[in-house]
Structure 1
Amino acid sequence: MSYDGGKTFVVVHEELKYCFVGSASSGNGMLISSYTIKLPSNLPASDKAVFAWTWANASGNREFYMNCADVAIKSSSTSFTGKEMTIVNHSGYETIPEFGGSYDTGLDIYNKAKQITVTSSGVSKGASNSNNDPESSSYVSSDPR
């Protein structure tokens, strides 16, 4: 979720292993074709929040994908703390190597994401630098919204 127009995103849910597969014993075939994500009840209220989902592909071109949707959040909360969104396989950021069947590939990059707090006013606290790019103070998505 972003409360500053897509400059900073806080993670509200992660699927880091077996995405669409279910478990290591399931092999690499797709068993799960959809997910239902319940947003935390303590997200800050906003008429201009951005909900995003990202993923890094497991094999082939080392790419980072992102889609966004503008959403309104009704809540009595004014702040939310969670991990800062991890960006990988994008120019200027760390690259996760080829998957090769190891479900642990790249998890260390996600696990070192720092905690940030976002507020309903759009101000992000503790997010002066992106978790992967010390040269940048923020990341602006090039999504097609």
Structure 2
Amino acid sequence: MRIYYRAPDAVVTSDHFVHRSTAGTAAFPIRDLREVCLGRTRGRSRTAPLLLGGALLCLILAAPLQQFIAVFLGLAGIATVGAVVAFRGRPQLWTLQGVYQGETVTLYESPDGRVFHQVSRALRRAIEDGRPPRSSDDLSAA
């Protein structure tokens, strides 16, 4: 068994691709993986919804308290700007997806492009090395 990549979050060997995450460990036999492709998705932002909720709360409180309306509108504006910045500044995740036993699965995700590309190159090599060798008879003309 040849090891192509080994780290705490992923192991790529000639036989298996193993991904360890907080959600659990997933292992995929290399020979059963099809249509492996790379992609990028936006990460999840937890700050933006909280800031938008704070802005909405400020606007709700501004209506009955007329003497503090300028303060509440200012806070709502600051919270809205913060939500926009948090939403736009969220990290992009690199994703590695493939078809395993007829279903599309996410094999690996990482916000670190360098580590992600190391894992994807290792998986690509494992898949290519696992293919059966071509016979010279297949290439001959009849």
> TM-score, with normalisation over the residues of structure 2?
0.25
Q: Which has the larger radius of gyration?
A: 2
> TM-score, with normalisation over the residues of structure 1?
0.25
Structure with the larger helix share: 2
